[in-house]
Amino acid sequence: MENKNINTSNLCLMTGNANPALAKKIADYIGVDLFDTFVGRFNNGETQVMIGDSIRGRDIFIVQSTSQPVNDNLMDLLIMTDACKRASAHSITAVVPYYAYARQDRKTRGREPISAKLVANLMVAAGMSRVLTVDLHAGQIQGFFDIPVDHLAAAPVFADYFNGHDFGGELVVVSPDLGGVTRARILADFLKAPIAIIEKRRPRPGEAEVMSIIGDVKDKVALMIDDIVDTAGSLCEGAKALRHIGARSILAACSHAVLSKNAVEKINNSDIEQLVITDTIALPPEKQSPKFVVLSMAESIGDVILRIQARRSVSQLFR
């Protein structure tokens, strides 16, 4: 998109504390400065927000992933939204590259919450006009909102990266579970590659056990694709199974690098040769690894923001 063709004079880009580096990249791409906003803590731990100048009648875009510490970052986003609403902003778009609680999108047993819906309710109640997010764990979460949701995929960014490599026609895109087949198919279409599927079960939350692999991966370059790498159990067990049945090389791509507990150590000791992630979640020094390649979503998010601001179609970008 030609940024110069869009009037950004009324656009106001703010950031919370979750991922200011990504917000700065988005601002640089759009060609605006980050708005003067302070997000801190009172002595008792409550969130304090101060907006540096008038935003009356402005179109606000708040960049804030709800990554760790999840509840702090979520509250910061809600309170920033409330501050903008009470300051008479014209519209408030929450740019939430990583949407927390998305894996709690339905009841799988009795007496469980549907936390993804509760978070959506909170965001709408706070005063958001629109939400922009990346690779929701479950696409139906868009329906939890009573406001527009722009759901951006990381697949084109991954495809640009992997299309720059020569796999000799031996690449296979692998879904680490049955629920991720659609995501694998989308990336496979970009890469013009076949897919394979790992069938697994979860004996306990956070643990994965591979049952079988559907598809031909023998002597192939296997590329596992998932939306979230959390404890890395699924990826590492999947890589072990792929190696066992003869995959020549094993790569992985995940949109959101949560990397809980000893996930980095697991990946470093696994059969995964390279893990490609995006910057939807800030990667602190203690979670970095020579196996990681970080791709930025800044331009993709920036293009959507510009289209929203220009009242242009966003769906065209997704095609």
> Which residues are annotated as catalytic?
200
Give the integer Cα–Cα distance in Å for 234 and 255.
15
Q: According to DSSP H, which parts of the chain are helical?
A: 20-30, 70-86, 115-126, 155-162, 181-191, 233-244, 263-268, 298-309, 315-318
Residue of 25, 33, 32, 26 whose CA lies nearest to 6: 32
Beta carbons of 297 and 25 less than 8 angstroms apart: no
Q: How far is CA 97 from CA 67, 73, 90, 129, in A?
A: 9, 12, 22, 16
Residue of 295, 240, 246 whose CA lies nearest to 266: 240
* Residue 201 CA from chain centroid, whole number: 24
Give the integer Cα–Cα distance in Å for 212 and 207.
16
Residue of 298, 249, 256 whose CA lies nearest to 277: 256
Report the Cα–Cα distance between both ends of the chain, in Å, rounded: 14
Residue of 126, 36, 144, 112 whose CA lies nearest to 76: 126
What are phi and psi for residue 141, nearest 5 degrees?
A: -60, -25
Sheet hosting strand 59-63, strand order edge to edge: 11-15, 59-63, 91-96, 130-134, 149-152
Task: Classify strands 149-152 and 274-278 as parallel, antiparallel or unpaired.
Answer: unpaired
Both tokens assigned to 38: 């302070």
